[in-house]
């Protein structure tokens, strides 16, 4: 079945065609009809399978249909996302697919001036895509009135629970009408998530795509065994051998992210980082640079893993293996999205082998080893070393930076609090 055969408005079909939506993915095929009928949905599907469009298309259709009489906009749907990046990505989909419809949407996140957001709310919006913090700020100030909201969407719900947003979600549901439609989308599910989900939805249609395979099939997985202090040389080589490729490298900490950016800069490779310590405007600019191809190498922490929805990401590099096995799924889901092919390579140091075993257990299959011949290993180190650079000192400096990371983050946090008080 093609989208042109769906019972949706011509305005939506027009935008779907313009943005290359021809046939629905599995999650879209199974979710859209139920949502259009007004049913609650509990959907579990891997990252990169088209979950956003699976709820964006029917939500746009339902609200567009309600607005045929050209009545003034009022808040009809709230979509909650765990991170700023994901909220903006969802909003972009709503803007693209709703460009010819009567639906007005707004993205609401913290870290930026709230005055333009308040002005937009006063003009009227139909769909609010938000992170919990800023949304509750504006609810408490009286600028958001959720008493007429008919649709609540929780996207990446598992990550929202990981970040401790369960109380925010429960507080919000107390402000919403009892009779509403709730859509619960998640990439993973366990007993805790299931308990929360069933406390929010009513007689839901349960949809689970590829439950035995949490990662999309079109991602090729490899692991390379590399010493912790030698990873940057292999990242450098990979970038040089693939100069036109978009690459995302995930690291565990903010300090490591900045160290890898600096290490790449010293060998003439431009990279930019994205993590929670960056100001909102800086994070937005980094994402835009990567999206436009101005920067080919993005260094990210796990907090950004689910909000990066950039087409044609060729490689995801697990520069550091994630602390939690399920985060591997969200990291590698940045490549191989939709029908694209992707490659995920993990740099595994000797000390990370237990983590690798946990990831393989979670995936229920081994990750193929990318064998590196000893001579190639030595050659990579020799090619990367700058004769004018005392790289052992640099590595020692990086280790000292790791130890001082907690102090750096604390100082940064105090500065932010001081700025807020100053406002």
Residue 293 has pLDDT above 80, yes or no: yes
Handedness of CA 49, 218, 283, 399 (dihedral sign): positive
- If one compares 272 and 423, the residue with the highest pLDDT of the two is 272
Q: How far apart are CA 141 and CA 85, in angstroms?
A: 24
Average pLDDT over residues 149-171: 87
Strand partners, 248: 298, 316
Report how far residue 52's alpha carbon sits from residue 158's, in angstroms, rounded to the nearest whole number: 15
Weakest-pLDDT range from 30-39, 225-234, 264-273, 384-393: 384-393
pLDDT tens, 105-154? 999 998 888 999 999 999 999 999 999 989 999 999 999 999 999 999 99
Assign 329 a pLDDT band (cuts: 50, 70, 90).
confident
Q: Work out the average pLDDT over 22-49.
A: 90
CB atoms within 10 A of CB 182: 19
pLDDT at position 392: 46
Cross-strand bridge partners of residue 206: 42
Report which listed range, 37-51, 215-229, 254-268, 273-287, is most confident.
254-268
> In the structure, what pLDDT confidence band is assigned to residue 395 with cuts at 50, 70 and 90?
very low
Average per-residue pLDDT in the chain? 85
Domains annotated for the chain, with CATH where assigned, are: 3-208 (3.40.50.300), 219-404 (3.40.50.300)
Q: Which residues pair with 107 in a beta bridge?
A: 129
Q: What is the pLDDT of residue 215?
A: 66
Q: Note whether 133 and 110 are within 8 A (CB).
A: yes
Higher pLDDT, 362 or 398: 362
181 and 34 in contact (C-beta within 8 Å)? no
Residues 337-342, mean pLDDT to the nearest whole number? 76
| pLDDT classification of 261: cutoffs 50, 70, 90 | very high
Could you please report the per-residue DSSP string of 328-394?
A: HHHHHTTSS-TT--EEEEEEE-GGGHHHHHHHHHHHTSPPEE----HHHHHHHHHHH--TT--HHHH
At 111 the pLDDT is: 81
φ/ψ of 223, rounded to 5, equals: -130, 135
Best CA proximity match to 152, nearest among 123, 127, 114, 183: 183
Q: How far, in Å, CA of 24 to CA of 405, rounded? A: 45
pLDDT digits 0-9 by tens, 95-104: 999 999 989 9
Mean pLDDT of the 199-219 span: 78
Most confident of the ranges 108-122, 278-292, 294-308: 108-122
SS3 297: strand
Q: How far is CA 199 from CA 129, 130, 183, 196, 288, in A?
A: 22, 21, 12, 5, 38
Q: What is the pLDDT of residue 385?
A: 56
**CA atoms within 13 Å, Cβ hemisphere of 249:** 29
The token pair at 396 is 């020692």
Give the lowest-confidence range in 66-70, 118-122, 218-222, 395-399: 395-399
Query: Is the confidence at residue 58, as pLDDT, over 90?
Result: yes
- Weakest mean pLDDT among 5-9, 348-352, 418-422: 418-422
DSSP string for residues in 53-80: HHHHHHHHHHHHHHTTT-PPP---EEEE
């Amino acid at each position: 079945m093609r989208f042109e055969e769906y019972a949706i408005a011509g305005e939506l079909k027009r935008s779907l065609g313009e943005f290359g939506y021809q046939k629905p993915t599995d999650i879209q095929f199974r979710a859209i009809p139920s949502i259009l009928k007004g049913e609650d949905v509990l959907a579990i599907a891997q990252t990169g399978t088209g979950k956003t469009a699976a709820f964006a298309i029917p939500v746009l259709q339902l609200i567009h249909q309600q607005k045929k009489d050209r009545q003034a906009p009022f808040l009809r749907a709230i979509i909650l996302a765990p991170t700023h990046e994901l909220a903006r990505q969802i909003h972009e989909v709503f803007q693209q697919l709703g460009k010819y419809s009567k639906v007005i949407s707004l993205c609401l996140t913290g870290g930026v001036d709230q005055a333009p957001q308040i002005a937009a709310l006063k003009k009227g919006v139909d769909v609010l895509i938000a992170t919990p913090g800023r949304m509750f700020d504006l609810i408490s100030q009286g600028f958001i009135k959720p008493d007429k909201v008919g649709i609540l969407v929780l996207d990446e719900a598992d990550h929202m629970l990981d970040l401790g947003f369960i109380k925010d979600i429960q507080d919000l549901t107390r402000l919403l009408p009892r009779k509403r439609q709730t859509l619960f989308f998640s990439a993973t599910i366990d007993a805790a998530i299931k308990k929360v989900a069933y406390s929010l939805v009513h007689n839901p249609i349960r949809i689970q795509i590829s439950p035995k395979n949490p990662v999309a099939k079109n991602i090729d997985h490899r692991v390379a065994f590399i010493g912790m202090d030698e990873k940057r040389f292999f990242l450098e080589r990979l970038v040089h051998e693939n100069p036109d490729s978009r690459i995302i490298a995930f690291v565990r900490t903010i300090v490591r992210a900045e160290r890898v950016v600096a290490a790449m800069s010293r060998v003439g490779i431009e990279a930019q980082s994205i993590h929670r310590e960056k100001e909102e405007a800086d994070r937005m600019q980094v994402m835009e640079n990567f999206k436009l191809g101005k920067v080919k190498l993005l260094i990210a922490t796990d907090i950004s893993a689910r909000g990066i929805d950039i087409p044609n990401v060729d490689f995801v590099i697990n520069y550091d293996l994630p602390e939690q096995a399920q985060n591997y799924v969200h990291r590698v889901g940045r490549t191989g999205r939709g029908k694209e092919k992707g490659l995920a390579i993990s740099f595994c140091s000797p000390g990370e082998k237990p983590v690798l075993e946990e990831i393989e257990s979670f995936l229920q299959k081994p990750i193929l080893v990318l064998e590196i011949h000893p001579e190639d290993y030595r050659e990579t180190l020799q090619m990367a070393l700058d004769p004018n650079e005392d790289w052992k000192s640099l590595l020692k400096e990086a280790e000292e930076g790791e130890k001082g990371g907690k102090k750096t983050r604390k100082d940064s946090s105090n500065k932010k609090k001081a700025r807020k008080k100053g406002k």
